[in-house]
Structure 1
Amino acid sequence: MNSLKYVLFSIPLLVVMYFFNFNDKKASKTTGTELVWLTDVEEAYKISKKTKRPILANFTGSDWCGWCHKLSGEVFDTPEFKKWSDKNVVLLELDFPRKKEQDEKTKAQNNSLMQFFQVQGFPTIWLFGMDKDEATKKFTINPIGKTGYLKGGPQVFIDAIEQMIQQQKDKIKAEKNMPQPVGKNQG
């Protein structure tokens, strides 16, 4: 009789598990409002230029890095971060998986950016702007600041990024207010 109860309980459970994938990596605390992480720096550049928002690049090891998962769970997968990021940054994921397949173009792009930013560990988060020389099609990267995992949840992380953005704005404002060099006296 006990084994019949077990079977009767197991069948509905298996049916529920079939229809609801409990291992879905896309599920997050944002209840259906997923973050859009771009993976192509060219696309991130175009959106950044159009919206005048800096790029927030997440150097991650999505299928092996415990601290990356912790950062995602505590910050990136929250409604607070989604709401803030939608208005303030362009999200770029630069993934370095060990098991998941990646195309060669993405690998080359990610490795190039990892070398440029001298990333030593994961997660590393870089905030930056970009310019593109249309004649040569080459990018100029303007680093703003970097961080990694910060204990304290989404607001601590957001505050750190906002501080970087404000420092960059202050720097640009100060440069604009600097006296212009006076030309040589040709007298």
Structure 2
Amino acid sequence: MKLKFFIVFLGLLVQTSFAQTANWYEDAHQAVAASNKANKPLLIFFTGSDWCGWCKRLQKEVFNTQEFKTWADKNVVLLELDFPRKNNQPKNIQIQNQQIQAAFSIQGYPTVWIVTPEVNDGKTNFVPLGRTGYEAGGVSKWLLTANSILKNK
């Protein structure tokens, strides 16, 4: 019995340690360049990673799943704009995040915008496709909303 339990536990441990998470940019310039190069919309995740309970739930239930990673790799480029209270960030990232937050008039967290970035004369404009946040129901329900937003493309 102990051996069976150990084998099951070991299998779960190995599966968890090899789980892939999605690749998130934190630098908007790099994300916009990748978005334009791949000809994919940009998914912008406004979060308070070290204090926002709903943000943590969205990460756990959606963004940290293989289903989301597979969907994201196919459909979008990911940009995480974090507004931590305890964790330190480089000053340039803080300024960037505050500027983009103001441009989108973000009032609460988590907020997720899917946009098409357009660069003209060195300035980036974000053409909004749609917005969402945390939704109860897990990754499948969240992806239904995201896919309906992408249809606006």
TM-score w.r.t. length of structure 2 = 0.87
Per-residue deviation at 1:132? 1.1
Asked if 2 retains the 8 angstrom alpha-carbon contact of 1:71 and 1:149, the reply is yes
Q: CA deviation at 1:109?
A: 0.6
Structure with the larger RCO, 1 or 2 (CA within 8 Å, 6+ apart): 2
After superposition, what is the alpha-carbon deviation per residue over 1:87-131, rounded to whole angstroms, capped at 9, x for unaligned? 101010000000000111101110011111111010000110111
Q: How many residues align?
A: 139
Q: Name the structure where strand makes up a greater proportion of residues.
A: 2
Give aligned-pair identity as a percent: 41
Is 1:67 the counterpart of 2:61 in the alignment? no
Shift of 1:54: 0.5
Aligned residue number for residue 185 of structure 1: none
Residue 34 of structure 1: how far off its partner (Å): 2.1
Q: Point out the structure with max Rg over C-alpha.
A: 1
Moved more, 30-39 or 96-105: 30-39
Any gaps of 5 or more consecutive residues in structure 2?
Answer: 1-14
Aligned to 2:70: 83
Cα 1:121/1:29, change in 2 over 3 Å: farther
**What is the Cα deviation at residue 138 of structure 1?**
1.0
Tell me which residue corresponds to 2:6: none
1:29 to partner: Cα distance: 5.5
**Structure 1 SS opposite 2:131:** strand
2:136 to 151, 169, 172: 151
Q: Please state how far the C-alpha of 1:59 moved relative to its aligned partner.
A: 0.2
Q: In angstroms, what is the RMSD of aligned CA positions?
A: 1.5
Match of residue 85 from structure 2: 98
Q: Please say if 1:114 is aligned against 2:101.
A: yes
SS at match of 2:151: helix
Q: Which residue of 125, 130, 153 maps to 1:140?
A: 125
> Which letter maps to 1:63?
D
**2:128 and 2:76 mapped to 1: Cα distance?**
14
Cα shift at 1:30: 8.0
- Superposed displacement of residue 31, structure 1: 3.4
Give the corresponding residue for 1:125. 112
1:137-181 deviation digits (Å, cap 9, x = unpaired): 11111011101101111111111111011123xxxxxxxxxxxxx
The answer to whether the 8 A contact 1:29-1:77 is kept is no
